Amino acid sequence: MTGDDMTRSQVLRVLSGRLAGVEKSLPAGGTLSIGHEYWQDVVLRDPAVKGTALDFAIDGGTTRITVLSGAASLLGSTLAAGEAAILPPYVPFTVGGVALAYGEAASLRWADAGGLAAALPEPPTLPPTLQDQAMTLAARMGERTGDFLAGWRLPTLAGASILLVAAAAAGPAMDAMGFTPDRAGRVERALDKAGLTDLRATTNHATNAVIVAGVVNGEADRVRANEVLRTVAVPAQLDVQTSSDLAQASADIARIRGLSARARPIGRTDVELHTSPLTAEARDQLVDAVKSDVREVGRVVLHDDLPPQPQEGEGGPVRTVADATKKVSTVVSGDPAYIQTADGARYFAGAMMPSGHRLMGIEGQSVRLEKDGREIRVTF
């Protein structure tokens, strides 16, 4: 095995915290950025990581970490901003209390790395931020407002009003008191007013984030939805697909089954799908698979009028979603779940498949893949 082959089989794995088990395949060379921000290559959305950034550099047989901001720990020593250290494989380093290490994906030495990570001291509890303190105060005031009104304590109420005005300048405090309308409802009303009536806004109660989801006719509508979110000034996640996205995902479902396929939208959620010849039973199975795996699709108009799919080596399409899954031998549910290919390689959530598809998640026998911003669900 060459040095490059060894590097390609290596991964960077999270050993502690809620992301434990998540890993990222390492390139043969180059530098990865690790930190709290979404633009970084390895994103650790833990409050203790905020403000910390590291470079993880691979150069031949040497791996080096450099702290750009904040601090990291390695073998009991603290690395401050501007400091660097050579990193041996399977030796944990910590970023904000989150332990990581790198090594061969299938090595038995990960058990030793996990033991070292478990022996690391717990990170100190961060003090509450000013925003946290404001929200706590606001919530307590909200509980007492009824008492103020019932007792007609006008001087006290007047004093409270001053505090409420100050809290109104800080949106999070007003949310804590329940004095503002439901944020998801506010977003949805703004979307309806903009003519985007097919989009719905909901609140993820686990994260208190607003999620806007649905299907729009084209990219212009998706851009318009994003502009609406900026106008209402409510942080939200945009999970919106276009009609073309649904058509392309439907064609991918057919290609996974070894068919030639192309598709086009014939309505907001309706798709016309052309494939190579099918039996009557296979037609029904394909339509069911499209509606099951691309859940936003409404009606599928299927025409099996394309030539058969060329065999590999005969000019057939390459680097499609089919390439990402055709060698999958096992889907293993567990914690963490992973898929195993015929050559024995294992891919965990977040890993990059050889085809360029990213493995987004595994739910039972369903696998979610993403490439170029488009996500597809495949059921094995």
Q: Do domains 3-118 and 183-242 have the same CATH topology?
A: no
- Rounded distance, CA 21 to CA 349, Å? 9
pLDDT at 323: 52
Long-range contacts of range 185-191, CB-CB < 8 Å, 24 or more positions apart?
Answer: 186/232, 186/234, 187/212, 187/228, 187/229, 187/232, 187/234, 187/236, 190/228, 190/231, 190/232, 191/225, 191/228
How would DSSP label each residue in 295-364?
Answer: TT---EEEE--SPPPPPTTTT---SSHHHHHTTEEEEE-STT-EEEETTS-EEETTPBPTTS-EEEEEET
Interval 325-337 mean pLDDT: 65
- Rounded distance, CA 70 to CA 81, Å? 6
Q: Give the percent of the chain with pLDDT over 70.
A: 72
- Rounded distance, CA 3 to CA 202, Å? 49
pLDDT tens column, 229-269: 888 777 778 888 899 989 988 988 888 777 889 999 999 99
Report domain 183-242's class.
Answer: alpha beta
Residue spans of the domains in the chain: they are: 3-118, 130-177, 183-242, 245-379
CA angle, corner 350, sides to 222 and 93, nearest 5? 125
0.75 surpassed by pTM: no
Would you state the structure tokens that stand for residue 71, as one six-digit string? 């601090």
Best CATH choice for the domain 3-118 from the list 3.30.70.520, 2.60.40.10, 3.20.20.60, 2.60.200.20: 2.60.200.20
Helix H or strand E segment including 140:
helix 130-151
Phi, psi torsion values for 57, nearest 5 degrees: -110, 135
pLDDT tens column, 34-93: 988 877 788 887 778 888 889 999 887 889 999 988 899 888 788 998 888 999 999 999
Whether residue 128 has a cis bond before it, omega within 30° of 0: no
181-218: buried (b, 16+ CB within 10 Å) or exposed (e) per residue?
eebbebbbebbeeeebeebebebeeeeeebbbebbbee
